[in-house]
Amino acid sequence: MVCKWNKNDLQDERTKTSLGDYIFSRQKELILELVKPASGERMLEVGGRHWQIFREKCCSVTGLVPSVKTLESVRKQFGKSADLYAGDVEDMPFSDDEFDIVAVINTLETARDPQKVIAEAIRVCRGRVFLGFINKYSLAGTQKRLKEIFGFSSIDKINFFSVEEIKKMIGNLVGREYLKWGSVIYFPAIVYGVFSELEELVPYMRNPLGAFAGFAFPAKYTYRTVQSPVTTTYKLKDDNQVTAPEAVRGMLREVDR
């Protein structure tokens, strides 16, 4: 299948400089390696600025941004290339199991309750979830500099997370057995202007030191029989016979407490 898309749709502020273009290309490489999107899959990108990566792979893309102001900005920048909505990322306006892929990228940093965002991503997903975030223990520079190179304004109040903190949030909801993760962008910006090849020499899978880190994991479990549910991600007791959406709603109630 050949996708029809306009290359101009993929341009934004991050790719207008050689450094921005390189950083975005490294993010894209990690995301595609962990998610492996397939043509025709329906995906939700929470954050509104990375959906073009999936559109290149012929996915049916929906974008969710946290405010009408952001929605207007993204639409102005990218036109009608994706189905875009404004809504609460902690109470997503979508049905259970609606998407094959849900990608939450550079959104946990500004959320009131990051774990609830993750739980909502699981609820609306029938396939796999990707979480991308800025790693507070990166070697690439100061937190102020990281905000700049990943597109946050200087006035944005954001929370930086470590790999272990995000891993714990995921583990509280679905366990850790099926996690895939890695990180990219290891060095201060000045290095990429002189010797960008150095970045490629560093293994990115399961490396906790990159500035942009990502986790991917399956969102659903399956049943062996009605009497004996078998989990692939959710930690359910053998006598718990609720459906997957009901299980997630229970988790959300726990998060609210």
Domain boundaries, the chain: 7-220
Q: For residue range 148-171, what is the model confidence (pLDDT) as tens digits?
A: 889 888 777 899 999 999 999 999
**What are the φ/ψ torsions at residue 66 (nearest 5 degrees)?**
-80, -10
Q: For residue range 199-256, what is the model confidence (pLDDT) as tens digits?
A: 999 999 999 999 999 999 999 754 333 333 333 334 443 344 344 445 555 555 554 5
Confidence (pLDDT) at 230: 39
- The residues that bridge with 61 in the sheet, in sequence order, are 43
Residue whose C-alpha is closest to residue 149's, from 21, 7, 8, 11: 21
- Kindly state the average pLDDT of the residues 75-90: 80
Q: For residue range 38-49, what is the model confidence (pLDDT) as tens digits?
A: 999 999 999 877
- Kindly state the average pLDDT of the residues 111-128: 97
Percent of the chain with pLDDT over 70: 77
Residue whose C-alpha is closest to residue 91's, from 249, 243, 242, 247: 249
Yes or no: domain 7-220 corresponds to CATH 3.40.50.150:
yes
Angstrom CA distances, 62 to 50, 53, 65, stand at: 11, 12, 10
Confidence (pLDDT) at 71: 82
Beta strands in 69-176 (DSSP E): 83-86, 99-105, 125-134
CA gap 105, 216 in Å, rounded: 12
Q: Which residues of 135-174 are buried (b: 16+ CB within 10 A; e: fewer)?
A: bbbbebbeeeebbebbbbeeeeebebbebebbbebbebbb
Residue whose C-alpha is closest to residue 140's, from 184, 204, 195, 201: 184
Percent of the chain with pLDDT over 90: 56
On average, the pLDDT of the chain sits at 82
The listed range with the strongest mean pLDDT (78-82, 146-150, 175-179) is 175-179
- Per DSSP, the chain holds a count of helices (H) and strands (E) of 9, 9
CA gap 216, 128 in Å, rounded: 7
